[in-house]
Structure 1
Amino acid sequence: MGVVRNLCSLKFEVKIVEARNVELKSSPSSLFIRFYLHAGSNRKVELNTTEICSRPDNDVTIWNQSFGLECQGDETAIEELKQESVLFELRRRKTTSFMGKWSRSELVGRGEVSWKSVMESDGMEIERFVVMGEKKDGEDCNKPLMLKIGLKLQASKLVNTKRVEDLCGCKDCKTCDCLDYEAFVVACALDGI
């Protein structure tokens, strides 16, 4: 007989609004945000925004791009989520002289927001500027590099009396690894700009 678990449905929204005080004094490049979400069992999911060409005369870069995610987990997974953060990286990719191709991306700045701060906010929703730790070779020290983000979390309990074997669908849980059902099952859907 399998163990009955109380599962919760979690809906996330991660919104990348804009970056401010981005002053890149180099060859033509594009900017994008890479962020990492906790996916249980010490795993991370990596997501990237679209790449936007940067202009030296504009220190504001606007994405206004949202990512919707739906996850399932038990109470242990929710407690684990409270200990985690969303790590944001502002990255740039320069064009190379060879055939005008893009090079590998370089880190410009990094910042993070804890899920606990989202859970403790009104309506489990925040929108704020995150100060990004900067590389020494780029930006003006008087104007910190900032990323405006929004995070939203909706949680609801699933009325579920199924056994773990039934959730797995393998019909023989003695031979497969169903432990991942204790962690998040992450399905990502990207909404366009």
Structure 2
Amino acid sequence: MDKFQDQAALSCELSIKKARNIEFNSTGSLFVRCYMSAGNKNRVRFETREVSSSNMAWNQSFSLDCFGTKECMSSMLSEGTVSFELRWRSRISIFGRRKSQLLGKSEVPWRTVYESSTMDTEKWIVMNSRKSLADGVKPPAVQIGMKVGGALPAISKAIRQTKRCGEKCECKDCVNCDLFAIDAALEFF
């Protein structure tokens, strides 16, 4: 069997729309940092542009083309998640550096995307924060979108027919996946 017959390609898109329920005591800017699995325990990191705390809208998207084995793609879609971090950065630099502060984070499984009939999802995600909120204060939330395209029919069928990764193997095949995220194009709409 040709080794390329077992290869698959997916096109993934992440959209960061806007944020709500954020209160500031100081000036600075907001941004969202995203992490997506890239196989072999590696992650691809994306960051939105910084916006002011008075205008909490990004309307920004990231496109990726992912290549790997069908099994690896199946594992990514059934087991993988995208991590979102809402971060704040002061306008004041210290020693030429501007560090950011984590306001909250959340994870969204790719499973929610491929299980939808349209292969996409758009929703508000609540950001979990380490700081406790006062009574009646809503936690920060970010509106996101996730979309998958490409060789999905064969992969979706394989996902529905296989067990979860930990049940079918000892992650030997999953850890050795050659999944590459390329063409990380920043798009504004």
Question: Normalized against structure 1, the TM-score is what?
Answer: 0.76
- Residue 136 of structure 1 and its aligned partner are, at CA, apart by 1.4
Hey, what does 2:102 align to over in structure 1?
107
| 8 Å contact kept, 2:59–2:188 | no
Q: Give the share of equivalent positions with the same residue, in percent.
A: 35
**In structure 2, do the counterparts of structure 1 residues 140 and 107 end up closer, same or farther at CA, with 3 Å as the change threshold?**
farther
- Aligned mate of 2:82, from 86, 94, 97: 86
**In structure 2, do the counterparts of structure 1 residues 51 and 118 end up closer, same or farther at CA, with 3 Å as the change threshold?**
same
**In structure 2, do the counterparts of structure 1 residues 140 and 50 end up closer, same or farther at CA, with 3 Å as the change threshold?**
farther
- Residue 95 of structure 1 and its aligned partner are, at CA, apart by 2.5
| 8 Å contact kept, 1:73–1:181 | no
One-letter amino acid matched to 1:95: R
One-letter amino acid matched to 2:18: E
CA deviations 1:71-116 (Å, max 9, x no partner) are: 11211112221201000000011123769x6620110010110001
Gaps of 5+ in 2: 153-174
- Residue 39 of structure 1 and its aligned partner are, at CA, apart by 0.5
Q: Secondary structure at the match of 2:30?
A: strand
**In structure 2, do the counterparts of structure 1 residues 23 and 88 end up closer, same or farther at CA, with 3 Å as the change threshold?**
same
One-letter amino acid matched to 2:23: E
| 8 Å contact kept, 1:23–1:140 | no
- Aligned mate of 2:131, from 136, 141, 156: 136
Aligned residues: 165
CA RMSD of aligned residues (A): 2.6
Runs of 4+ in structure 1 deviating by more than 6 angstroms, as ranges, are 137-140
State the distance in 1 between where 2:101 and 2:141 align.
17
Q: Which structure is higher in helix share?
A: 2
State the distance in 1 between where 2:72 and 2:118 align.
20
**In structure 2, do the counterparts of structure 1 residues 132 and 141 end up closer, same or farther at CA, with 3 Å as the change threshold?**
farther
State the distance in 2 between where 1:153 and 1:95 align.
36
- Residue 149 of structure 1 and its aligned partner are, at CA, apart by 0.2
- Residue 14 of structure 1 and its aligned partner are, at CA, apart by 0.4
- Residue 2 of structure 1 and its aligned partner are, at CA, apart by 7.2
Q: Secondary structure at the match of 1:133?
A: coil
Hey, what does 1:49 align to over in structure 2?
48
CA deviations 1:45-78 (Å, max 9, x no partner) are: 01100011213xxxx6110101111111211112
Alignment of 1:147-162 (within 5 A): 147-156=142-151
